[in-house]
């Protein structure tokens, strides 16, 4: 899948036609947080050149010394600061974590808000990165950066859905980079592939995380 204007416009058009769902005040309650309102975060699904002219998605692994979700695979992102929009937060986090500098013209669209078991509602923002030459891990937050080719995601790599006794919802996991990537990251990647690459109106709010990610 080539990193070119045709792909860029295809993703933009499919996201524009997709009616993304926001989490409202009545639904943003964590099942594991005693009914407290969730914290709001934004994540960046950054489409970049893989270095050989093909399109790829930026995936990171968090460092082992972070206070929360240490060592887990994630998309660049974090909490929305006071006065920020979801888009502003996603772009800021992409710059702080992996060195990508973009303005709002890079935004192609957004996907559904996703509520996590650990007490967050995440807004996924899809961006097109023309210049990824500054891509570099911030060692305070990011241990590894992976470029996941979109062609592999849309043709070869398929998510797995398993059952667990603790929930009646299916657990999603993606076999990527020699391991299994779990929700919420796996759910957001899956919806990106379904909506932005394949043009399917697929929802992911019902997908479950593994028990170890509930905290």
Q: What is the mean pLDDT of the chain?
A: 90
The tokens describing 69, both together, are 């979700």
* Other residues' Cβ atoms within 10 Å of the Cβ of residue 21: 14
Residue 124's SS3 state is strand
Q: What is the pLDDT of residues 57-87, one digit of tens each?
A: 999 998 866 555 556 899 999 999 999 999 9
27 band by pLDDT with thresholds 50, 70 and 90: very low
Mean predicted confidence (pLDDT) in 77-104: 96
36 band by pLDDT with thresholds 50, 70 and 90: low
pLDDT for position 65? 67
- Of 31, 106, 71, give the one whose Cα is nearest residue 185: 71
- Under DSSP, the state recorded for 90 is H
pLDDT for position 28? 45
Higher-confidence position of 205 and 29? 205
Q: What is the pLDDT of residues 192-212, one digit of tens each?
A: 999 999 999 999 999 999 998
pLDDT for position 189? 97
**CATH superfamily entry for domain 5-153:** Nucleoside Triphosphate Pyrophosphohydrolase (3.90.79.10)
Domain ranges of the chain: 5-153
**For the chain, how long is the longest CA-to-CA vector?**
48
**Backbone phi and psi for residue 135, each to the nearest 5 degrees, phi listed first:** -60, 120
- Of 180, 202, 184, 205, give the one whose Cα is nearest residue 193: 202
Tell me the C-alpha to C-alpha distance, in Å, between residue 164 and each of 27, 30, 86, 172. 24, 19, 32, 11
Contacts of 30 (CB under 8 A, 6+ apart): 36, 38, 115, 116, 117, 118, 119
pLDDT > 70 in the chain, percent: 90
pLDDT for position 29? 44
CB-based burial, 155-185: b 16+ in 10 Å, e otherwise: eebebeeeeeeeeeeebbbbebeeeebbbbb
38 band by pLDDT with thresholds 50, 70 and 90: confident
The tokens describing 211, both together, are 């028990």
Mean predicted confidence (pLDDT) in 3-31: 83
Q: What is the pLDDT of residues 113-155, one digit of tens each?
A: 999 988 899 999 999 999 999 999 999 989 999 999 999 898 8
pLDDT for position 165? 94
Mean predicted confidence (pLDDT) in 174-197: 95
Lowest mean pLDDT among 39-53, 103-117, 147-161: 147-161
- Distance, CA of 129 to chain centre: 15
Secondary structure of 55-83 as H, E, C letters: EEEEEEEECCCCCCCCCCEECCEEECCCC
* pLDDT value at 215 more than 80: no
């Amino acid at each position: 899948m080539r990193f070119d204007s045709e792909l860029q416009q295809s993703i933009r058009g499919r996201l524009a036609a997709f009616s993304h769902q926001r989490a409202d005040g009545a639904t943003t309650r964590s099942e594991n947080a005693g009914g407290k309102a969730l914290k709001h975060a934004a994540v960046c699904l950054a489409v970049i050149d893989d270095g050989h002219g093909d399109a790829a998605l930026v995936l990171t692994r968090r460092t082992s010394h972070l206070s929360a979700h240490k060592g887990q695979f994630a998309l660049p992102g974090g909490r929305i600061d006071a006065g920020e929009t979801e888009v502003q937060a996603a772009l800021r986090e992409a710059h702080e974590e992996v060195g990508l500098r973009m303005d709002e013209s890079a935004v192609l669209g957004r996907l559904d808000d996703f509520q996590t078991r650990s007490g967050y509602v995440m807004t996924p923002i899809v961006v097109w990165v023309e210049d990824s030459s500054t891509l570099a891990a911030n060692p305070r937050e990011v241990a590894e950066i992976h470029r996941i080719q979109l062609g592999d995601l849309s043709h070869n790599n398929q998510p797995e859905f398993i059952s667990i006794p603790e929930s009646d919802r299916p657990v999603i996991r993606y076999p990527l980079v020699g391991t299994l990537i779990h929700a919420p990251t796996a759910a957001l990647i899956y919806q990106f592939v379904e909506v932005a690459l394949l043009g399917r109106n697929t929802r992911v709010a019902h997908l479950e995380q593994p028990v170890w990610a509930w905290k």
